[in-house]
């Protein structure tokens, strides 16, 4: 009997290899994405030196600037040098300003994370409440109305809902500013007012998908046999949904929430440019127009890294929420 107990694998011992495997896959994915980013930037038409100096620049001036920027070196050497620099915390120099990229890069990243964090604080609880109410009143008027609103929110692209909110709340009602500019001396209230419209746009972008998937996960968990047993014992549907169904649906719900938070790092690029928000997305778009290759590569890799990291977090949290991995078999 004792030997049989010793041979039982614990949930923790079976979980860690899966987590480590996911982390290794994530590192490989980041390397692959970095190569794709570098290749894509190199395939852009035109020349960075010509874009900086202008079309009237002489060939000698363009050649001299190419030498200064290191564009005459082989592509593989430039790629490896870029990766080694990032691994050491050196994000390189901007072609346009000739200054270090790290300072403005992380300032813009902080602004983007502030906007994404405020969006998550609003959208995640609201999506859970909408999904819970839809299942609680499944098939009724409340469920129909909430589903209709969620589908309408999913159908609206970010740029359309952003300009629509700007028209209503910035131009017509004049409640919030249309340009979400930030400065270092702004108070917290002023910051919240500045990000109100882009935050609402991002909430609309992810709320419908999260609430629909939450509803689907709860309905799937509700079809289990223990729900019928709980009903026979006299428990109310609301208590069954809250105490028994929700804990068993946490895995899929956590996965959906984390994936939508990762999507924020993609949608924020569009929203930041609509509202002129000084975040990482606008920084990257501005660098594209200036043909600032190091800034383009750093911004794209940072956004891709955050996206991959959040997807890894979704996988790990889904594994942790799996009862078969948490408990002994």
Vertex 309, ends 115 and 258: CA angle to 5°?
Answer: 65
pLDDT at residue 329 in the model: 46
Q: Is residue 191 within 8 Å of residue 114, measured between CB atoms?
A: yes
pLDDT digits (tens, 9 = 90+) for 158-209: 888 888 888 999 888 888 888 888 777 777 888 888 889 999 999 888 888 8
Rounded Cα distance between 105 and 294, Å, is 11
pLDDT digits (tens, 9 = 90+) for 242-260: 666 766 667 777 778 877 8
Contacts of 255 (CB under 8 A, 6+ apart): 314, 315, 317, 318
Task: List phi, psi (to 5°) of 93.
Answer: -115, 145
Query: Which residue segments constitute the domains of the chain, with CATH numbers given?
Result: 101-321 (1.10.3720.10)
Q: How many residues does the chain have?
A: 329
pLDDT at residue 3 in the model: 46
* pTM listed for this prediction: 0.78
pLDDT digits (tens, 9 = 90+) for 73-106: 888 888 888 888 888 888 888 887 778 888 888 8
pLDDT higher than 80, residue 59: no
Give the DSSP letter of residue 171: I
Q: What is the mean pLDDT of residues 61-65?
A: 75
pLDDT at residue 1 in the model: 44
10 Å Cβ neighbour count for 66? Answer: 16
Rounded Cα distance between 299 and 307, Å, is 12
């Amino acid at each position: 009997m004792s030997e049989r107990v010793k041979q039982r694998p614990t949930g923790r011992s079976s979980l860690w290899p899966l987590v480590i495997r996911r982390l290794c896959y994530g590192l490989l994915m980041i390397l692959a994405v970095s190569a794709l980013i570098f290749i894509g930037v190199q395939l852009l038409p035109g020349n960075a030196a010509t874009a900086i100096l202008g079309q009237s620049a002489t060939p000698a001036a363009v050649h001299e600037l190419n030498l200064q920027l290191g564009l005459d070196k082989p592509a593989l050497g430039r790629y490896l040098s870029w990766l080694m620099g990032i691994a050491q915390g050196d994000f390189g120099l901007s072609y346009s300003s000739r200054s270090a990229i790290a300072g403005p890069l992380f300032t813009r990243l902080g602004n983007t994370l502030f906007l994404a964090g405020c969006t998550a604080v609003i959208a995640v609880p609201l999506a859970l409440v909408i999904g819970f109410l839809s299942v609680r009143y499944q098939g009724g008027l409340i469920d129909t109305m909430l589903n209709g609103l969620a589908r309408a929110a999913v159908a609206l692209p970010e740029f359309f809902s952003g300009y629509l909110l700007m028209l209503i709340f910035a131009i017509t009602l004049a409640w919030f500013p249309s340009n979400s500019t930030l400065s270092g001396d702004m108070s917290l209230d002023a910051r919240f007012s500045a990000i109100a419209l882009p935050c609402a746009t991002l909430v609309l972008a992810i709320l419908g998908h999260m609430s629909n998937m939450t509803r689907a996960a709860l309905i799937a968990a509700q079809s289990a046999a223990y729900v019928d047993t709980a009903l026979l014992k006299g428990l109310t549907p609301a208590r069954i949904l809250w105490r028994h169904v929700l804990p068993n649906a946490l895995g899929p719900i956590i996965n959906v929430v984390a994936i939508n938070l990762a999507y924020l790092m993609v949608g924020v690029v569009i929203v930041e440019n609509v509202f002129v928000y000084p975040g990482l997305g606008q920084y990257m778009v501005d660098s594209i127009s200036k043909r600032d290759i190091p800034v383009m590569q750093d911004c794209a890799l940072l956004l891709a890294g955050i996206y991959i990291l959040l997807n890894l977090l979704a996988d790990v949290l889904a594994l942790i929420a799996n009862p078969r991995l948490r408990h002994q078999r």
